[in-house]
Amino acid sequence: MVYLTRRERFSSAHRLFNPDLTDAENDKLYGKCANSNWHGHNYELFVTIKGEVQEGTGVVINLKDLSRIIKEKIIDKLDHKNLNLEVDFLKETIVSTENIIIAIWDELELEINKINAKLHHIKLVETENNFAEYYGEKE
Amino acid sequence: MVYLTRRERFSSAHRLFNPDLTDAENDKLYGKCANSNWHGHNYELFVTIKGEVQEGTGVVINLKDLSRIIKEKIIDKLDHKNLNLEVDFLKETIVSTENIIIAIWDELELEINKINAKLHHIKLVETENNFAEYYGEKE
Amino acid sequence: MVYLTRRERFSSAHRLFNPDLTDAENDKLYGKCANSNWHGHNYELFVTIKGEVQEGTGVVINLKDLSRIIKEKIIDKLDHKNLNLEVDFLKETIVSTENIIIAIWDELELEINKINAKLHHIKLVETENNFAEYYGEKE
Amino acid sequence: MVYLTRRERFSSAHRLFNPDLTDAENDKLYGKCANSNWHGHNYELFVTIKGEVQEGTGVVINLKDLSRIIKEKIIDKLDHKNLNLEVDFLKETIVSTENIIIAIWDELELEINKINAKLHHIKLVETENNFAEYYGEKE
Amino acid sequence: MVYLTRRERFSSAHRLFNPDLTDAENDKLYGKCANSNWHGHNYELFVTIKGEVQEGTGVVINLKDLSRIIKEKIIDKLDHKNLNLEVDFLKETIVSTENIIIAIWDELELEINKINAKLHHIKLVETENNFAEYYGEKE
Amino acid sequence: MVYLTRRERFSSAHRLFNPDLTDAENDKLYGKCANSNWHGHNYELFVTIKGEVQEGTGVVINLKDLSRIIKEKIIDKLDHKNLNLEVDFLKETIVSTENIIIAIWDELELEINKINAKLHHIKLVETENNFAEYYGEKE
């Protein structure tokens, strides 16, 4: 069992905002991250799959397939976009790093199963000081 | 003559957009960077001053002073802000990396002169693949 | 279940030294790390907590709370300090990366429990070639 | 139980190539990685061992011993070499990242056991976008 | 006058070898870099151009044009190739970092002039410890 | 004319302290950097030489010679040492980044001249946010 990781990147605008709260409550909860004029980040996304090495090829999967899936399903939809306004799979979501990473997992899991790999771990780096990780563990 | 560099960081939203052009022209010129819903970046700002080492202290300037000036004049105004909408010294500016770096130079130069240093060089990193530099050379 | 990591940094002096051994024995055991005049490092500390995303906020915890706890309990006590001489929670300890990381865990665990998160993992990077990790596993 | 990681580096030539396939099949499978004139990488190897802190020394193992083993068993054999042609423990192997990492594990495991540590994890970084990991899990 | 830098990357095989010398002389001169079975690197190429900000666009040049030129003229020819055997503009050259960087300059200079920019500086990183820079200064 | 850079690293203890000042004055001037129990850093040293490519070898100098000089003259004397107490060429010096870099220049210049290269630039990185540079410019 070997684990393979592919890194992709996207640059997006977002804000932390709960529509059920007042502006004052949002400001208190999220501080400058609630700025109504948006801010943005260069995100780094690390997608790790696991599987067994195929005897005929010496690889678990063709990394180009993994890269293509991540680009089509995630990067093309998030890069140079507004995460609150423009992403189909983030509608009605508070776009925290936590919620983004869970939504990315749900987008990728089925597609990755199709290339005979198993999605194992996602890491989403928001700044050099903050990142989130997810293993698909539901409550 | 020694050169000292201080790095600071900010995360902002922006778009490339020339109000004198049509939407179609902006799209053609700037591509996805013209997205009307904004996108954003983690910027890294490197400010380099030069000066002679002071005999009594062994340093050119107190780096805390340089850091304080950069924070007050630049970071507090740009971090978690929309560069097109919320920054006094970027009003009426196409907020390209080139124009941001020139505007930052103009904000910092006088303040840094007051601490007996000379602003030498600014580097603004937009992504790991793109950065701009400026030495204050006017046309 | 999502995992969140906050990085903080500190720069400290230390030496590896066992007071029960002779100087020659310490030198043989630790080499240049036993230098009686001290040496030092820029340490990077990665603290990972785990928890469930809160529905009302979209986040597991407020990262500012985590950052504040790490700063008050760890960084303020270690940064620009001598790890052998000046840190209350490292008294009587051989200040190896291993022992520092266990001591940091013990300092943080209770405080992090108070913000409804669970301390999951600590990583302490001493140089670009060496780091230690700890999951709170006691013998 | 503490986990210690040592990073070492090597720069090597290789190609992905299955001798049981035709050139056209290799090209289709591996793309530019099958180039018969070779290409190469700067690899980063992270070796993680786990163990308990020894009371007398405050460390799990002497990191110099770990570094020496990795250099003698791995780096000296791979650095500035052709991975397809010159490495005894990679003979008859398709030198994918996956197969290299498994082979490195098999080379290191016994040697690391001799210094009272347990090999826990190996990470092999091929480019800034691709890396493999292995925990010794056999099918 | 603003300076803009674009980073691109390539992974290649090469060896240091002077055909006018004996094998023993090559070995003595270049050590392990002369290995007749090749070795390889992940190279990072930083290309810096300089120019004035265009009033109508707010940018010096369109970075996509610079990226396209570097890819067509350099990366497509070097990436996953053997620098000694397969690169038209490196024929008859000892493929040291120094000679590669001069050859890249000569390939890029004319093309970059065509997009109204001036090639200013090239940096070629061979490993994290070694890099070369060139400003087009001929003897 | 090509510029070649070699990076080396050292980890040292130091404090900022002017013996002509009182403790209170030192504290006011240098803050936590004046801590009488020392602190420390992982320093990165980048040494850049310039020269013309030698026709017979394709290189400006043999980088191993440059690395050897830096190690013998600088790293062996600074690594795992106390910069205030143990370094012959830093005696009577306030060991600020500025003064260290000038002293390193003076140590290296003559030695590098002997290998037919010209010392061009030194960069000393103290933390990821602070570094100094020197070109040998005397007042």
In this complex, do B6 and F101 lie within 8 Å of one another by their Cβ atoms? no
In this complex, do D58 and C102 lie within 8 Å of one another by their Cβ atoms? no
Task: Give the residue numbers in E contacting D (CB under 8 Å), as ranges.
Answer: 9, 11-14, 32-33, 35, 37-42, 79-82, 85-86, 127-128
Contact list, E86 vs chain D (CB under 8 Å):
37
Contact list, A81 vs chain B (CB under 8 Å):
35, 37, 39
DSSP H stretches of helix in chain A: 23-30, 63-70, 76-78, 97-113
Q: What is the reported pLDDT for A139? A: 65
Provide the CA C102 distance to its chain's centre, in angstroms. 7
Q: What is the reported pLDDT for E64? A: 93
pLDDT band at D138 (very low <50, low <70, confident <90, very high): confident
In this complex, do A128 and C7 lie within 8 Å of one another by their Cβ atoms? yes
Q: What is the reported pLDDT for E139? A: 65
In this complex, do D13 and E42 lie within 8 Å of one another by their Cβ atoms? no
pLDDT band at A138 (very low <50, low <70, confident <90, very high): confident
Contact list, C63 vs chain A (CB under 8 Å):
130
pLDDT band at C139 (very low <50, low <70, confident <90, very high): low
In this complex, do C52 and A18 lie within 8 Å of one another by their Cβ atoms? no
Asked about C80 being catalytic, the answer comes back as yes
Share of chain C above pLDDT 70, in %: 99
In this complex, do A39 and B80 lie within 8 Å of one another by their Cβ atoms? yes
pLDDT digit string, tens, across residues E1-12: 999 999 999 999
Q: What is the reported pLDDT for F116? A: 85
Whole-number Å distance between alpha carbons of F106 and F37: 29
In the numeric block, which tokens belong to residue F121?
Answer: 């630039």
In this complex, do C52 and A97 lie within 8 Å of one another by their Cβ atoms? no
Average pLDDT, chain A: 96
Q: Which chains does D contact via 3+ CB–CB distances below 8 A?
A: A, C, E
ipTM value for the complex: 0.95
In this complex, do F57 and E93 lie within 8 Å of one another by their Cβ atoms? no
Contact list, E2 vs chain B (CB under 8 Å):
98, 101-102, 132-134
In this complex, do A134 and C59 lie within 8 Å of one another by their Cβ atoms? no
Contact list, D135 vs chain A (CB under 8 Å):
1, 3
Q: Which has the closest alpha carbon to C126: F41, F95, B63, A123?
A: F41
Query: How many cross-chain Cβ pairs, D to E, lie less than 8 Å apart?
Result: 73
Q: Which residues of chain F are under the pLDDT cut of 70?
A: 139
Contact list, B62 vs chain F (CB under 8 Å):
29
Core vs surface per residue F18-55: b (16+ CB within 10 A) or e: beebeeeebbebbeebbbebbbbbbbbbbbbbbbebee
| Count of CB atoms situated within 10 Å of the CB of F88 | 7
Whole-number Å distance between alpha carbons of E19 and E41: 22
How much helix, strand and coil, in percent to the nearest 5, is found in chain E? Answer: 35, 30, 35
Contact call for residues C41 and C23 (beta carbons, < 8 A): no
Contact call for residues F95 and E56 (beta carbons, < 8 A): no
Contact list, F7 vs chain E (CB under 8 Å):
128-130
Mean pLDDT, rounded, for A88-92: 96
DSSP A82: B
Mean pLDDT, rounded, for B45-53: 97
In the numeric block, which tokens belong to residue C111?
Answer: 């405080």
Q: Which has the closest alpha carbon to B123: E111, E2, C32, C24?
A: E2
Mean pLDDT, rounded, for A90-103: 97
Q: Catalytic one among E8, E33, E41, E86?
A: E33
Q: Which of C9, C37, C79 is the closest to F13 by Cβ?
A: C37
Q: Which of B96, B99, B132 is the closest to E3 by Cβ?
A: B132
Contact list, D85 vs chain E (CB under 8 Å):
37
pLDDT band at A12 (very low <50, low <70, confident <90, very high): very high
Radius of gyration of chain E (CA): 17
In this complex, do A6 and D102 lie within 8 Å of one another by their Cβ atoms? no
Chain B interface mutation, best of E1, E2, E123, highest count of B Cβ atoms under 10 Å: E2
pLDDT digit string, tens, across residues D93-104: 999 999 999 999
Minimal-distance CA residue of chain B relative to E61: B98
Q: How far is C75 from chain A (nearest CA, A)?
A: 14
pLDDT digit string, tens, across residues D44-63: 999 999 999 999 999 999 99
Q: Which of A13, A79, A128 is the closest to B13 by Cβ?
A: A13
Minimal-distance CA residue of chain E relative to F3: E133
- pTM for the full model? 0.97
Q: How far is F123 from chain B (nearest CA, A)?
A: 9
In this complex, do D6 and C137 lie within 8 Å of one another by their Cβ atoms? no
In this complex, do E1 and B101 lie within 8 Å of one another by their Cβ atoms? no
Q: What is the reported pLDDT for D76? A: 98
For residue E18, pLDDT over 70 is answered with yes
Angle E82-E84-E85 from CA coordinates, rounded to 5°:
70
pLDDT digit string, tens, across residues A66-82: 999 999 999 999 999 99
In this complex, do E79 and D32 lie within 8 Å of one another by their Cβ atoms? yes
Contact call for residues F137 and B7 (beta carbons, < 8 A): no
Q: Catalytic one among E25, E80, E98, E109?
A: E80
In this complex, do B2 and F129 lie within 8 Å of one another by their Cβ atoms? no
Decide: C and B in contact? Rule: 3+ Cβ pairs under 8 Å.
Answer: no
Contact call for residues F93 and C47 (beta carbons, < 8 A): no
Decide: E and A in contact? Rule: 3+ Cβ pairs under 8 Å.
Answer: no
Higher local confidence (pLDDT), F116 or E77: E77
In this complex, do E3 and B134 lie within 8 Å of one another by their Cβ atoms? yes
Q: How far is F56 from chain B (nearest CA, A)?
A: 35
Residues of D acting as catalytic residues: 33, 80, 126
In this complex, do B129 and E7 lie within 8 Å of one another by their Cβ atoms? yes
Minimal-distance CA residue of chain C relative to A94: C58
Q: What is the reported pLDDT for D139? A: 65
Q: Catalytic one among B33, B41, B44, B121?
A: B33
Q: Which of C18, C131, C133 is the closest to D58 by Cβ?
A: C18
Contact list, B34 vs chain E (CB under 8 Å):
none
Q: How far is B81 from chain A (nearest CA, A)?
A: 5
Contact list, F59 vs chain E (CB under 8 Å):
16, 94, 96, 98
Contact list, E93 vs chain F (CB under 8 Å):
58
Q: Which chains does C contact via 3+ CB–CB distances below 8 A?
A: A, D, F
Whole-number Å distance between alpha carbons of D126 and D108: 19
In the numeric block, which tokens belong to residue A80?
Answer: 């140079």
Core vs surface per residue E44-73: b (16+ CB within 10 A) or e: bbbbbbbbebeeebbbbbbbebbbebbeeb
pLDDT digit string, tens, across residues E38-57: 999 999 999 999 999 999 99
Contact call for residues F37 and C11 (beta carbons, < 8 A): no
pLDDT band at D116 (very low <50, low <70, confident <90, very high): confident
DSSP B82: B
Q: Catalytic one among C8, C33, C41, C120?
A: C33
